[in-house]
Amino acid sequence: MSNYRPETICVQGGYTPGSGEPRQIPIIQSTTFKYATSEEMGKLFDLEASGYFYTRLQNPTNDYVAAKIAQLEGGTAGMLTSSGQAANFFALFNIASCGDHIVASSSIYGGTFNLISVTMAKMGVACTFVGPTCTDEELERAFRPNTKLVFGETIANPALTVFDIERFAKAAHRHGVPLIVDNTFATPVGCRPFQWGADIVTHSTTKYMDGHGAAVGGAVVDSGKFDWLAHAEKFPGLCTPDDSYHGVTYAEKFGREGAFITKCTAQLMRDFGSIQAPQHAFLLNLGLESLHVRMARHCENGQAVAEFLSRHPKVETVHYCGLPGDPYYALGQKYLPHGSCGVVSFELKGGRAAAEVFMSNLKLAAIETHVADARTCCLNPATSTHRQMTDAQLQEAGIPAGLVRMSCGLEHQDDLIEDISQALEAI
């Protein structure tokens, strides 16, 4: 299935029923799986055989959907998590632990910024943030002897900067560490980070992949390309025996293709238990079946709204990499040639107060802490998702206090533009 184009994988990937089996992915609504002998089940616990014994670790419904996402990204293995937050935490913590250091783009989702700068810092993982357009010297200076990975977002939520994946991958690899890319906003339909050198991809499937505001979820995909054993001293968790799993050495036993996701499942899912419910995986798969069709419309609507806003006298600036004047236009053309996404950020003349009037006058676009839904929604990050950040941090992350983030849904673009137009008149 991996040889097919993303459009075909969206529809048919991950699950291939045999004769007489259900056409749609079955929801395996069972916490446990039965075995005839203890010996048979023991092999699963020893990671000697693959199979199911407890849904906290693995469930067939989840695995079908994880396999589809892995195929879409062109990776070798994938896993679902209960949320995008869990996916990013698992991807980071599977490599970096107490005493380690990571390098991250400062232009990332607010939840991930908190995860890294507050919670993971408490766990002893230090981070140096660099701007997505930092100089080569700044990027080089960010690395330390104990740096274990580099992290960024293809299209940052909500700043809408475009991450130069190839450049950051080369820097990471020069230092013998992997690049993790959160590909939530682009989706594999828009960009496949592995083609540009990324090693691991994460998703909040809550966004476009689900696409209907129905189920919170996340995913982690491994490219299978990073050679852990070539830098074994940096990655003891993957390259030395795991005492909590009968002394298995993941990189040796499961190779480049399987080590990362197997360790992530066997250790982190076992201990943190952030599973996606099989029901949610089923809903996610329904979203994935139309992802390629929906993304095209989200991108068209985003482009049309961005162009309209950029011509409007009450709008100060518009951030959308599909606009030729945008600082990220060139990177957008390189990494997102078929369009970026449906999310447009813009600053109104009159800042926070104007944003408030504008948003309260919208009829179609609802005020929501959400993006990437079939229904258009909008948000003022400074007073909601990013309210933990100081004004200085907001500025550094490219999110001024008066910024409005609008997620264009699947409605007719003329209706959206008419709604935006009348709300702008109200300011």
CB of 377 to ligand PLP, least distance (A): 13
Whole-angstrom distance, CA of residue 19 vs CA of residue 21: 6
Least distance in angstroms from the C-beta of 348 to ligand PLP: 23
Cα–Cα distance for residue pair 376/379, rounded to 1 Å? 11
Label residues 233-257 b or e (16+ Cβ within 10 Å = b): ebbebbbeebeebeebbbbeebebe
Could you count the other beta carbons within 10 Å of the beta carbon of residue 387? 11
Distance in angstroms (rounded) separating the CA atoms of residues 316 and 343: 17
Q: Segment 150-169, which members bind ligand PLP (CB under 6 A)?
A: 153, 157
Q: Which helix (H) or strand (E) holds 308?
A: helix 291-310
Nearer Cβ to ligand PLP, position 84 or 132?
Answer: 84
- Enumerate residues 17-36 that contact ligand PLP by CB under 6 A: none
From residue 361, how far is each of 220, 294, 328, 423 by CA, in Å?
Answer: 39, 27, 30, 5
Q: Least distance in Å: CB of 146 to ligand PLP? A: 25
Token couple for 150? 């580099």
Question: Where in 198-217 is the site for ligand PLP (CB under 6 A)?
Answer: 204, 206-207, 216
Nearest CA to 145 out of 128, 121, 131, 122 is that of 128
Of 89, 90, 93, 109, the residue at the interface with ligand PLP (CB under 6 A) is 109
Q: Which of 55, 71, 85, 107 binds ligand PLP (CB under 6 A)?
A: 85
60 close to 176: Cβ distance less than 8 angstroms: no
Query: Which stretch in 52-60, 107-115, 289-297, 325-333 sits in contact with ligand PLP by CB under 6 A?
Result: 107-115
Residue 222 contacts residue 76 (beta carbons within 8 Å): yes
What are φ and ψ of residue 396, in 5° steps?
-65, -35
- Taking alpha carbons only, the member of 114, 118, 180 closest to residue 148 is 180
Least CB distance to ligand PLP at residue 112 (A): 5
65-84 residues near ligand PLP, rule: CB under 6 A: 83-84
Nearer to ligand PLP, 74 or 84 (CB): 84
State yes or no: residue 285 binds ligand PLP (CB under 6 A).
no
Between 88 and 301, name the residue whose CB sits nearer to ligand PLP.
Answer: 88
Among 63, 100, 182, 419, binds ligand PLP (CB under 6 A): 182
Number of residues interacting with ligand PLP: please give it, by CB under 6 A. Answer: 17
CB closest to ligand PLP, residue no: 84
Binding test (CB under 6 A) with ligand PLP, winner from 184, 187, 340, 407? 184
Instruction: Say which residues have a Cβ less than 8 Å from residue 407's Cβ, sequence separation at least 6.
Output: 342, 343, 370, 371, 372, 373, 376, 377, 378
Closer residue to ligand PLP in complex, CB, 85/285: 85
Is 112 a binder of ligand PLP (CB under 6 A)? yes
Site string for ligand PLP, 216-245 (x = CB under 6 A): x-x---------------------------
The least distance separating ligand PLP from the CB of residue 184, rounded to whole angstroms, comes to 4
Please state the closest distance from residue 187 (CB atom) to ligand PLP, in A.
11
Give the span between the Cα atoms of 322 and 304, in whole angstroms.
Answer: 10
Between residues 216 and 423, which has the closer beta carbon with respect to ligand PLP?
216
CA distance 115 to 372: 22
Which residue lies nearer to ligand PLP by CB, 366 or 417? 366
Q: Tell which positions 118-137 bind ligand PLP, by CB under 6 A.
A: none
What is the separation of C-alpha 95 from the centre of its chain, rounded to a whole number of angstroms? 17
Q: Which residue has the tokens 């599909």?
A: 322
* DSSP strands (E only) in 162-217: 179-182, 200-204
Residue 274 as a binder of ligand PLP (CB under 6 A): the answer is no
Residue 84 or 197 with smaller CB distance to ligand PLP: 84
CB of 219 or CB of 238, closer to ligand PLP:
219
The letter for the amino acid at 117 is: S
CB of 330 to ligand PLP, least distance (A): 22
Element of type H or E holding 379: strand 377-379
44 vs 331, which CB is nearer to ligand PLP?
331
| Least CB distance to ligand PLP at residue 82 (A) | 8
Q: Which residues bind ligand PLP (CB under 6 A)?
A: 83-85, 88, 109, 111-112, 153, 157, 182, 184-185, 204, 206-207, 216, 218
